[in-house]
Amino acid sequence: MTKLVQIIISSVRTSRVGDQVAAYVKNVMQASSPYRFEIVDLKDYQLPLLSDEPNIPAYKNYTQKHTIAWSEKISQADSYVFVTPEYNGSIPASLKNAIDYLYQEWAGKPTVVVSYANKGGSFAAEHLKFITSRMGMKPVNTTPAILTTPDRRDEQNRILNPEVAFESHRESIEKATQELVNSFSQ
């Protein structure tokens, strides 16, 4: 059976470009990998800040509908690509919150961190690699950092031509994809 890789859009802000970054990443990774890719948007799960679960996530004894839905979705994947912006030197609270809702679902699975920001988001990427390692995930070495400063945008802050804006990052995304593929044979 073909492995499923979920690409998680980490920002839930109204004015965001994470969906555009994720779509580009999916296209590049899909073209250079034998796996299936699916975009998962944190906006679709409406996870309350600070879990309202009575039990710790390690027990996987969930009581809330939103947590059960989140667990079921994340459990489907063999691997994850986190597409995260850098907010004030780190990852968005929405992403940390979503990770903290679960535990067993993440354990042992390979991950790729793709950051984006006006300077590429390397601080957020390093924080996220540390967090995913502590959660038992296996982040690959290559961490594509997409610069969004020179992008041309419209009135709603949308990137006018993501293919052109992100093309200089294609090689690092392909390298991370190859490391992800290789991680399954180790």
Please count the other Cβ atoms lying within 10 Å of the Cβ belonging to residue 133.
Answer: 12
Q: Are 85 and 10 in contact (CB under 8 A)?
A: yes
pLDDT value at residue 151 = 67
pLDDT value at residue 152 = 76
Which of the listed ranges 34-38, 117-121, 156-160 does the model predict with the highest average pLDDT? 34-38
d(CA 7, CA 135): 18
d(CA 60, CA 159): 39
Q: Please state whether the predicted TM-score (pTM) of the whole model is above 0.75.
A: yes
Please count the other Cβ atoms lying within 10 Å of the Cβ belonging to residue 16.
Answer: 17
Give the containing element (helix H, strand E) for 137.
none
Q: Are 138 and 92 in contact (CB under 8 A)?
A: no
Nearest Cα residue to 72 out of 104, 108, 113? 104
pLDDT value at residue 150 = 62
Q: Are 159 and 153 in contact (CB under 8 A)?
A: yes
Going along the chain from its start, the domains and CATH numbers come out as 4-183 (3.40.50.360)
Confidence of residue 141 (pLDDT cuts 50, 70, 90): very high
Cβ-count burial 35-69 (b if 16+ within 10 Å, e if not): bebebbebeebebeeebebeeebeeeebeeebbee
